[in-house]
A and B are shown apart, each in its own frame.
Chain A
């Protein structure tokens, strides 16, 4: 074969435009589909990750709430203090540390009640703490706005930051 023949063939191949547009369009379409698919995949992954995170937090909070267990060791109505107060001794016998009290409600059957927000929690030796750890005992002092009726039963409800509720009763 001569050299000029091969040159002509290459030139003819380069200048021949038949069917090129079909290949290009197919490639572009495939590329677009792949790109869009990857974008959709990334978006879906992100959405599912967010969902996982939220659900995980929700389950974690629920589990932590289940692990909380506060026991009332003793409730003492102090009539000699000014103002009169209720001292509540607590024990964390649950399986989670740092039980923090969000609010406390003292009430009776006739509809009277008084609420206390984030009362100061102390260990039995008087050391202030923010949360009661496992196996630890502590107390809160609730200063009452009015005197309680003598020999009347009262109920006391504690709500923790994690959402658990514990209640007990005492006689003034």
Chain B
């Protein structure tokens, strides 16, 4: 009935109240459009904020899960103002970690230094990865005035901002042993020998890790030494440093291998130039020549085949400003017929 009246009004041309209707419709549309707009937009902004919070929380969680252990750290100063840091890094966490900086503080001198160029080495460690930063991979930090006699502390910084303290190698037994018989300690288990072609050591630096050596074969010996001098001085080895073997069952039979310089590819260079080992520094030395200061091949003769022999390491040179001489025994060899 009402609708019929309304239609009748429109059909008869009565327009009273039309503007109110139009106004109301417009008002409703405006309110709806704007409120919808603001509502959706607020939701989108809220989503952006929540995403940022979530990202931050994730980063914090990753940061907490990052765990690197730096063991067997060793500080030495083989060059003036240059601290060499050797260390074993293990990622014991559950996330990938990247090392970006190494800090070293000289507690004796109260000076510090850092090496931020290690970022270019891409030291990325997956969970469980172990990396040895030793020998040619060792890190270097510049500290003006540092010496081997100083005490050091160090820490790595990861890309997530964690710091990893370096835990110094505790080699009390070896140190005490070295103190008892001299300043240099021999790593007994790292003893090895090399065969070679012309003047290049085969399989350098790994060589053959054995105490059985062949006769009638040109060989050289590799020994790993650590300077554990109690007075923390640098040791310089001269050309008379040698490895000497002798046979109890064959008196008079002895052989000598003098120290030589070796390039990273295993090539022996002549003439010999002095090798220095800073305090707490570990180096592998090669003994290959029958003549001091140069390179002449050495092989063990057939007369002593199938015999055991004793090996002595005779080290000569300078320790600090004084002369140095040390005889390190302990290695026994068996000469076999190849």
Contacts and interface: CB of A to CB of B under 8 A. Distances in A.
27 contacts: A22-B13, A22-B15, A23-B13, A26-B18, A29-B18, A30-B15, A33-B22, A33-B23, A33-B26, A34-B26, A37-B23, A41-B33, A45-B34, A48-B34, A55-B45, A66-B56, A69-B161, A73-B101, A73-B103, A73-B157, A74-B103, A76-B112, A94-B59, A95-B55, A95-B59, A135-B100, A137-B116
A90 B59 CA distance: 18
Contacts of A171: none
Contacts of B56: 66-67
Given A48-B37, A52-B41, A66-B56, A71 B18 contact: no
A59 B159 contact: no
- Interface residue range, chain A: 35 or more
A30 B161 contact: no
Nearest to B35: A48
Interface string A77-95: 0000000000001010111
Contact of A137 (B18, B19, B101): B101
Contact of B159 (A22, A76, A89, A135): A135
A135 B274 CA distance: 43
B101 A62 contact: no
Contacts of B19: 26, 29-30, 32-33
Nearest to A49: B37
Interface stretch (B46-54, B235-243, B287-295): B46-54
Interface centre among B19, B37, B114, B157 (most CB of A within 10 A): B19
A48 B114 CA distance: 54
Interface string B53-71: 1011001000100000000
B267 interface: no
Given A26-B15, A67-B52, A74 B112 contact: yes
B29 to A, nearest CB: 8
A86 to B, nearest CB: 14
Contact of B38 (A22, A52, A59): A52
B283 interface: no
B118 to A, nearest CB: 12
A21 to B, nearest CB: 12
Interface string B69-93: 0000000000000000000000000
Interface of A: 19, 22-23, 26, 29-30, 32-34, 36-38, 40-41, 44-45, 48, 51-52, 55-56, 59, 62-63, 66-67, 69, 71, 73-74, 76, 89, 91, 93-95, 124, 135, 137
B30 interface: yes
Contacts, number: 95
B254 interface: no
State the main secondary structure of chain B at its contact with A. helix
Contacts of B206: none
A41 B30 contact: yes
B27 interface: yes
B129 interface: no
Nearest to B55: A95
B299 interface: no
B200 interface: no
A59 B49 contact: yes
A124 B116 contact: yes
Contacts of A33: 19-20, 22-23, 26
